[in-house]
Amino acid sequence: MTPTLTHTHFEFPGQIDVYRGKVREVYTLQNDILVMVATDRLSAFDVVMPKGIPFKGQILNQIATKMLVATADIVPNWLIAAPDPNVAIGHACTPLKVEMVIRGYLSGHAARTYASGERELCGVTMPEGMKENDRFPEPIITPATKAEMGLHDEDISASEIVRRGIVSAEDYALLEQYTRALFQRGTELAAARGLILVDTKYEFGKTKEGKIVLIDEIHTPDSSRYFYADTYASLQEQGLPQKQLSKEFVRQWLISNGFQGLEGQILPEMTDEYIETISHRYIELFEQITGDSFVKADLGDIIARIEGNVRQFLDQ
C-alpha cells in the first residue's frame, strides 16, 4: 500500500494553536499566519474514512492553490504561498460559520431532495418538471451551517442565517456577491478544460481588520462537482448518468454498500485495491481540472519533507 498522510503533530516556530478538521490540519502561528496541511483523509457524508487515499492531500492542495491564484483578481483570499505539495500558508482569519453552496444543476444533495418530493432547498424554490442533472435557469445558492468534526452540516436559508446572527445582512450580501463571481470564474475555467462546473462550495473568513476574504479550498473535487461538457447533452437526452469529476463516485459506492452517514449504519470496509482505485481517480481529476501532468511528491518521509519545507519558508 502506498504511504499516506493521515495525521500530523508539528511544532512549528511561533506555533500557538492547532485545529484538526475532517481533511485539513491548521496550525496557527504568531503574526496571524496559518499553516494549512492537506492530509490524505477522505470524508464523505461528513464521516472520515478509516484509511487515507494516496496523494489526495497533494492533489487537493495543488488544485486549490492554483484556483485561488486564478480568482484573486475578483475576490480577495487568504493565501500567501504553497511551500510544499501538501501545504498552503496564509493569513489567519476568523471563519464565518456558513458554507456558501452554489448549484448550477440539479445534482447530488439537491437531486436527492427533489426526488423526495421537496421543491424548496434552503429557502430557494426549485422549478417543477426537472430531472436529475438538468441545468437550473440561474444558479441557486443553498447555504449550510459549518459543522464541527463528526457532525453534519445543516441546510439553512439566507434569512435564517441573518436572523440567527451567524453573519450580518450586509456581510451576507457580500458573501452572495463573491459566491456568484467565483462560480462564474470557475465556470469559465472549467469550460476551457472541456468541463462543466456543476456545483461547489466556498468558505469565507474575516481578517483582524474586518475584511471578508476567501479561505480554505476552492474548485477541488472534494468541494465541487464537474461534468464532461462533450457528453452532457446526449446523456441527459438519453436519461443516463453523467460522466463526472468529483468524489461523488465514492458517495455512490458507499450508498450501494448501505451507508449514507445515518445513525445505525455501518461503514463498509474499503479494500487496499479499492483505495488505490480512488487514488487513480483523484489523479485523473487533477489532470482534467488543471490541464497539468500530475507529479507525485516524494513519499519517503512525508512528515520530514513537510516540516523541512515549511521551516525553510518561515526562515525566509
The string of DSSP codes covering 115-178 is: HTT--EETTEEPPTT--TTPEEEEEEE--EEPPPTTS--EE--HHHHHHTTSS-HHHHHHHHHH
Q: What is the pLDDT at residue 152?
A: 58
Categorize the per-residue pLDDT at 221 as very low, low, confident or very high, splitting at 50, 70 and 90: confident
pLDDT at 23 over 50: yes
User: Rounded mean pLDDT of 16-32?
Assistant: 93
The three cell numbers of residue 275 are: 483505495
Q: What is the pLDDT at residue 150?
A: 47
C-alpha angle 129-227-102 in degrees, rounded to nearest 5: 65
* Paired residues of 291 in beta bridges: none
Residue of 248 and 180 predicted with greater confidence: 180
Q: What is the pLDDT at residue 247?
A: 79
How confident is the model over 174-204, as pLDDT tens digits?
A: 999 999 999 999 999 999 999 999 999 999 9
* Paired residues of 15 in beta bridges: 29
User: Which alpha helices (DSSP H) does the chain contain, by range?
Assistant: 56-71, 108-115, 158-163, 169-192, 229-238, 248-256, 272-290, 302-315
Give percent of the chain with pLDDT exceeding 70.
98
Averaged pLDDT of the chain: 93
Categorize the per-residue pLDDT at 1 as very low, low, confident or very high, splitting at 50, 70 and 90: confident
User: Rounded mean pLDDT of 294-315?
Assistant: 96
Query: Torsion angle, CA of 183/94/150/59, rounded to 10 degrees?
Result: 50
Phi/psi zone of residue 31: left (φ > 0), alpha (ψ -120 to 50 degrees), beta? left
Categorize the per-residue pLDDT at 148 as very low, low, confident or very high, splitting at 50, 70 and 90: low
Q: Tell me the pTM.
A: 0.89
* Nearest Cα residue to 228 out of 220, 217, 236: 236
158-173 b/e with 16+ CB inside 10 Å = b?
A: beebbeeebbeeebbe
pLDDT at 45 over 90: no
Ranking 97-101, 165-169, 188-192, 220-224 by mean pLDDT, the lowest is 220-224
CATH superfamily of 94-245: ATP-grasp fold, B domain (3.30.470.20)
